[in-house]
Structure 1
């Protein structure tokens, strides 16, 4: 028998009651706190990012300029063989004439103001311009690192002489040269067009940029076609069984493996077993491709899954084969997502340091590589080398190298965004 109370109408809710108002206030307070937490997290992240970038800019901008000294050089060499001239004496005589009447101690300090490789700079200039032989030319050469730091304010004149890299006489001579108009501070193109050097004033990123380009090129040529082919097979053709499940699990796990493990693999297999050349961009690109492959496979499979099933059904309905459906319809529509994921994967590979260190791409290389098998460095390993150098000039060049690397990474991510916006299809 039905209880009569169960048939009674429900008690109406009083939405205007104090209890409901209190509940609404609590919900609004919770929502406000959640928004505040999210805003605080964004502000903290932006603040830390701004602190990082500002510190890099404050330190690295000094490396984008280089102090130069103007020398009046009397080029007296054999025109038939200009590369064999005594350029050390030519430079020494030009420096001796900078401050007439200077004593022996002052002359010794003057000889340390130009970079120690000045005679090579003069030789290369004369070989490239043989018409200057027999004349007097004015050539601007970089100054050595202590005087470069003095000009940039990193060596304080108020510091006691015993604690300074440049003594009082050196400061006075440098000021005399500045008063003569021989000191300038132009943009440091050598940072981009010179290779590594033991002298900070001559060190540049040219070899590292070329080495990174070769390594990323090899990485792209290997990982892009192999990754797309593997993803297409797993997503469109492979039967769903325990073996394909095992492969998928291992691919996902490989994407989370630390990069140094791939470096150890390259060291053991490519260098140890196959005997490939150490420090070569070819080996670096192969190691980076192993690291990038799982990312490209996962991104490509996600892009293929995003294509609506109706596309496949329509193509099959008009008589297309499985191969034609994938190649003519599904893959072109998934291409924006594939390209975006590939570029992001390559950008990650560009910034990897640990695997390249293990295969020797941190060697001291003074010229850009001429091919895939020549010894080379890369941008991240070059930054690592400079960060470990004791000279004050390498501190600014380390930050400048990081800024250049960040610039390449931002450019690659910008290309990925533009490709996605241009090629993306909305359903």
Structure 2
């Protein structure tokens, strides 16, 4: 074998090794991605199911302190707590007072409200006995889903042997069922895992991103247009461009400190609101959108500008009627990606107070609210076992929004992008 053939063989072997290294790197990354997604989905999918206990309730007029023929208003104003306690106690007629308390703790603390709502939907049941679906406690819910160990000593469990005995009887009687957990999407946060939902976080994230878009998009686009089309090329503009690029790499928590020190301390804007969160995230998103908008403007061929100017258009007309519209697909794509990045931010929102416990759904950007990433942070710190699946489920929802936003960015780019030959 000649020296030339030996060198050629070494070069081919080197190329094969390089390809192998690249394939190994991709496979390694995909493996960790698969492990991450498997862990999240295997832990979180059970949060989309809610465990219910079917309990027989007798709507006794004496326990409700009502007449024979109460009006709907009377039914609404009645106190159902004693009736609810008796209904749970009837699961075991021989239960002691302590055991009756344990029976009460097998369902959510809103069990009297659920009994009330069932009657309000079916007023004809007054004075009769009906099976009512009550939300199981988070501990019993985890037992039903197989996430709660039963083979450990009773002192180390939150569910007593007596509760497990009654639970097993209900299971044998077919009175423990599982339905889709709509309340996970319709309820706000709660201290009780079985009642906690993401409605407040979803609405808060929507208002936050809306405020961020309204502020950052026009400011960033106008800044990009000026820097790319009108600003003179000198040291001042070079200095501005360098700092814009540097701002894009600044840690997000720095913008949170800016929001804390300026928006809250100086301007006294309402704390823990989507308004402050949106303004803070808009400052963080501005450099990203400016860079994307400038890149899109640069991608427009000079011949477009030259043709418009040759036809007698002014510099402003050329920019606003030709250059900007042609660059808009890339600008919109960069904007959506920037907003997706803002949607997943947590540190700035924690610093401006959006980490507070919010159990109401905000109606406007001025109302206290949470956000999806902060909700993940809050639930991850909770000790209850029921919040473990809620954390993963919330991450799944957040990942879904991020995937949709990135998909939208790609669709916008491919649909409206102009191919230059």
TM range, smaller chain: over 0.9
State the match for 2:296 in structure 1: 303
Q: Which residue of 2 aligns with 1:330?
A: 323
1:32 matches 2:25? no
Contact 1:279 1:360 in 2 (8 A): yes
Tell me whether 1:232 sits opposite 2:225 in the alignment: yes
Structure 1 residues 157 and 337, CA gap change in structure 2 (3 angstroms): same
The C-alpha deviation readout for 1:127-152, integer Å capped at 9, x for no partner, is: 66666555544321211111111111
Name which of 241, 266, 271 aligns with 2:234: 241
Match of 1:386 in 2: 379
Partner of residue 54 from structure 2, selected from 48, 66, 70: 70
- Residue 37 (structure 2) pairs with residue 44 (structure 1): no
Long gaps (5+) in structure 2? none
What is the aligned-residue RMSD (CA, Å)?
1.7
Q: Deviations along 1:26-82, whole A, 9 cap, x unmatched?
A: 110111111111111101111111111100011111211111112233444553344
Q: Which 4+ runs in 1 deviate beyond 6 A? A: none
Whole-Å separation in 2 of the counterparts to 1:163 and 1:366: 30
Residue 163 of structure 2 is aligned to residue 179 of structure 1: no
- Match status 1:273 vs 2:266: yes
Query: 2:87 maps to what in 1?
Result: 94
Shift of 1:362: 1.1
Whether the 8 Å CA contact 2:333–2:410 is kept in 1: the answer is: yes
Q: Secondary structure at the match of 2:194?
A: coil
Using the alignment, how far apart are the partners of 1:241 and 1:126 within structure 2?
76
Residues 74-114 of structure 1: CA deviation (Å, up to 9, x unaligned):
44455334443222112111112223444444433211111
Distance 1:307 1:149 in 2: 58
**What residue in structure 2 maps to residue 20 of structure 1?**
4
Identify the match of residue 149 of structure 1 among 119, 142, 148: 142
**Partners of 2:391 and 2:154 in 1: how far apart?**
28
Task: Judge conservation of contact 1:155–1:165 (CA < 8 Å) in 2.
Answer: no
Counterpart contact for 2:300–2:323, Cα < 8 Å: yes
Gap change, CA 1:127 and 1:231, over 3 Å in 2: farther
Structure 2 residue 337 is the aligned partner of structure 1 residue 344: yes
SS of alignment partner, residue 66 of structure 1: strand
Aligned-partner Cα distance in 2 for 1:203–1:157: 24
What secondary structure does 2:334 align onto?
helix
Q: SS of the counterpart of 1:343?
A: helix
Q: Provide the residue aligned with 2:41 in structure 1.
A: 57
TM-score by length of 1: 0.92
* Distance in 2 separating the partners of 1:360 and 1:191: 24
Residue aligning to 1:258: 251
Do the aligned partners of residues 130 and 244 (structure 1) sit closer, same or farther apart at CA in structure 2, a change above 3 Å counting? farther
CA distance in 1, matches of 2:220, 2:330: 14
- Partner of residue 418 from structure 1, selected from 395, 408, 411: 411
Does the 8 Å contact 1:343/1:413 carry over to 2?
A: yes
SS at match of 2:180: coil
- State the alpha-carbon separation in 1 of the partners of residues 305 and 126 from structure 2: 75
Task: Tell me the TM-score normalised to structure 2 length.
Answer: 0.94
What corresponds to 2:396 in structure 1?
A: 403
- Deviation, 1:123, is 4.0
Is 1:362 matched up with 2:355?
A: yes
Q: Deviations over 1:115-173 (max 9, x none)?
A: 12222333455566666555544321211111111111122232233332222222111
Aligned length: 411
Q: Distance in 1 between matches of 2:331 and 2:387?
A: 39
Q: Does 101-110 or 27-36 show the bigger shift?
A: 101-110
Range moving further from structure 2, 365-374 or 206-215? 365-374
Any unmatched runs of 5+ in structure 1? 1-16
Moved more, 294-303 or 318-327: 318-327
Greater C-alpha Rg: 1
Q: Within the alignment, does 1:159 sit opposite 2:152 as a pair?
A: yes
Query: Is the 1:63–1:188 contact (alpha carbons within 8 Å) kept by the matching residues of 2?
Result: yes
Give 1:204 shift: 0.5
Provide the secondary structure at the position in 2 that maps to 1:166: coil
CA deviations on 1:341-391 (whole Å, 9 max, x unpaired) are 000000000000000001111111111101111111000111100000000
